Structure 1
């Protein structure tokens, strides 16, 4: 791997978004209702709520988001100005199949993405496309209980084939499922699986869990993933498919062997499990042990194991925001985090949203993934959420964000020097968007400020932050000037 300035030639610098967090236009041009369209707003201190019917007293941030649907040309032009080589975006399933079970796609939805890809091509930006980014047809949640039903596989494969045939000469890099391992976490059945009911038909909410249902849904996603990898390679042998996990990096708090074993267990079932199946083509032995201990039975059909074995993925992509510690001592101080928190690490500082900032942990993560899978790696989400404030001149001096990126990019550079085959970095999020965790606009990640507030007010004006020009220089010098 030829490198310049520590980064390989042709390195994919860029940024990432998700349809539900940026597009808006939630019912425009035939779009149907997605699962996240029924997710209310919240805050650091107030959890988001799932509603089965729209509640006039609630706000639903996805409905308007930052209106990328009508601002995509302006936004992509700004990405190009920064020098993006790659843009990670997701397709909104319900723009293509509004209910999810139609036989023919919605042409207006496809035409929107035609225009987006055309704009990316104009600037020479490579698209990295997520097929399902926590966004499933709400109709399928209500009628078949989302990924709890094996029937979901057929609907997903039909949807994916439409995308493959439509964009076979435009898109090379595909991510079938965003942060697939999120479904291993309790209370994430709806977000990551579109699951509304438990096996008895009782409503699942944020305070109730059914682990067997979640892991059965994950099996269905594994099979769907393998089927579309197989089909995609038939349509275009040059397609590249990746796993995508949220890397919840766990450390043992101490060298107490009990802490070390606990950290190992957490990493196995909450981080590696999904990537192991997708890259190695089989269920790991530690998962079999976990299922036995928990009394979980995974229902498989004939041919499932062979399908997984023969259709593994090409690269490993992941999100990385922070690390947490674990301890066998239940009295240790806890902290918050991305999707879940953990024991506070005394050697790290926290962000405004109580996420521990750990750039060295990113280098550690890169090495562990490289050692485990021996495939090209992509960091497809990484960034700092903060309540950016405009000064009296309307400018945003987000030096804290620049500091965050500087420290993480420096560790990436070192990992590459140490032999890690990192090929892409798409920061989260390159433009302010609705926070998935809290449903806020206040929690901003972008290099580009969007004048949109939590109460829905704002002009939608795009404003470059100080970090915009900093990242532009990083890309221009291929990481020499960090």
Structure 2
């Protein structure tokens, strides 16, 4: 193992968030209703017809009203970057308006100015999971309908023209490769789930490929210096056994997992996917002009969430290139956390190398972290905190593997762990799944002071950043 920091002085050590997770103020200053506002719990539990009481995301942790004090904390943490998103419905409440909402635009101007004043580079997702205007979902069927693309692109043009001199790094979508698994939450597809077959899923993916490429075209035309990617969620997949059949399945599952990134980077569908469409009778509405747009507008770097690895088994009933599904078959060599997610820090180094060898592009790890059930406790000085040594240990293990990958020759732009502070979980719709360096005194029954408390990991991460990674090697 490398015994020194390989992180460059301009490495974007940071942390991550997203608008619907922490802003709250879901109907303030003319904000429209978003998809997340009608998903009160887990996306798997379905939606409500309209926003109803009990959805924690409506209040979230009040970042919209507390952003100045929170950004001051982020500055104290020493962040070099903060990944967050712009809430689409703050800019175009229903998605179809002729003119954008100035109050929403001004909020992000103020937020980005505040971040920059604290030396924090904004790293921005155009639209995060769950942030599509509900009007576009219910009236246009989201990205199952090509009409939605034009409204998305109008929104893209508006925010890029406004913030091009404040934000350099942009992500068109978040974890776009799981849109087929969560079509309403990820892509605003509101049709009866029972009618969403493989053809519909393929069309959703295609329409989002086109939207991504068209967005890149617009962004580059406005300011060619801006850097653009589209995030996916990925992780390495191991063969369950030395059997050749398991090795073959591992290859197929990995290929499926990287399908979206292949299209983003190479600008074309791989031949195996087109054959799969043909063999299954999947007919996707794809035009020659769209294929040209894909080819001419590819990503500048590869951005992804890394949470866990998976295993492939030839005799398994289900084969799909998503580690959150594949990891239901547990790797006997690895531990799992409370949420039954596999813990695999070495897999991050492996993934970094796989991506580097396959694409030769810089990488940005935009989500990765440690979540736990946590409660406030007193430290040796009587101050309220959380003694989250497990988070320190977990993040240290991940960052040491990133350091190893850089030593391997991989180019890495930055690392924004999930998450900068506690907020409402996307997968559970609760506060109890806590990820942050900052504890927020707020709970699933809507009680709590909303006060912020630094966890033990807060000081540790600050030292890691201040030392450009050297502190990782301290006992």
Taking the TM superposition and a 5 Å limit, the aligned residue runs for 1:76-475 are: 76-134=71-129, 135-184=131-180, 186=181, 188-197=182-191, 203-204=192-193, 209-269=196-256, 271-330=257-316, 338=324, 341-392=327-378, 393=382, 394-475=384-465
Check the 8 A contact 2:385/2:439 in 1, yes or no. Answer: no
Distance apart, 1:4 and its partner CA? 7.7
Q: Give 1:455 shift.
A: 1.1
Alignment partner of 2:253: what SS? Answer: helix
Q: CA separation in 1, counterparts of 2:287 and 2:392?
A: 50
Q: How many equivalent pairs are there?
A: 462
- Distance in structure 1 (CA, Å) of the matches to 2:64 and 2:431: 17
How far off is 1:328 after superposition? Answer: 2.4
Once the 2 structures are TM-superposed, how far is the Cα of residue 137 of structure 1 from its aligned partner?
0.7
Q: Secondary structure at the match of 1:350?
A: coil
Q: What secondary structure is seen at the aligned counterpart in 1 of 2:75?
A: helix
Contact kept? 1:448, 1:463, Cα under 8 Å? yes
Contact conserved, 1:337 with 1:355, CA < 8 A, in 2? no
Do the aligned partners of 1:48 and 1:439 also contact (CA within 8 Å) in 2?
Answer: no
Residue 342 (structure 1) shift: 2.4
- Name which of 27, 48, 53 aligns with 1:51: 48
| Contact 2:235–2:323 (Cα < 8 Å) also in 1 | no
1:343-394 Cα deviation digits (max 9, x unpaired): 1111111111111100000000000011111111000100011011222553
**Secondary structure of 1:349's match?**
coil
Deviations 1:435-477 (A, max 9, x none): 1111111000000001110111111111000000000000011
Q: Give, in whole Å, the separation in 1 of the partners of 2:215 and 2:373.
A: 40
Looking at structure 2, the residues matched to 228 and 345 of structure 1 have their Cα atoms a distance apart, in angstroms, of 39
Q: State the SS of the aligned residue for 1:426.
A: strand
In the alignment, is the contact (CA less than 8 A) between 1:339 and 1:437 conserved in 2?
A: no
C-alpha distance in 2 between matches for 1:326 and 1:209 = 26
Secondary structure at the aligned position of 2:84 is classed as: strand
1:74 Cα offset (Å): 1.2
In the TM superposition, what whole-angstrom CA distance separates every residue of 1:254-297 from its partner, at most 9, and x where no partner exists?
1212212222222222x211111111010111211222233211
Instruction: State whether residues 237 and 323 of structure 2, in contact with CA within 8 Å, keep that contact through their aligned partners in structure 1.
Output: no
Corresponding position of 2:28: 28
CA distance in 2, matches of 1:142, 1:47: 18
- What's the CA shift string for 1:374-416, capped at 9, x where partnerless? 1110001000110112225532100111110111111110110
Alignment-derived partner of residue 200 in structure 1: none
CA contact (8 A) 2:420 2:438 kept: yes
**CA–CA separation in structure 2 for the residues paired with 1:173 and 1:55:** 35
C-alpha distance in 1 between matches for 2:453 and 2:158: 36
Whether the 8 Å contact between 1:48 and 1:438 is mirrored in structure 2 is: no
CA distance in 2, matches of 1:340, 1:313: 27
User: Structure 2 length normalisation: TM-score?
Assistant: 0.94
8 Å CA contact 1:33, 1:137 repeated in 2: yes
Pairwise CA RMSD of aligned residues? 1.9
Paired with 1:339 and 1:89, the residues of 2 have a C-alpha distance of 26
TM-score (normalizing by structure 1): 0.92
In structure 2, relative to structure 1, the CA distance for the partners of 1:340 and 1:51 (3 Å cut) is: farther
SS for the counterpart of 2:224 is: coil
SS in 1 for 2:106: helix
**Which SS does the other structure have where 1:425 is aligned?**
strand
SS at match of 2:125: strand
Aligned residue for 1:89, secondary structure, equals strand
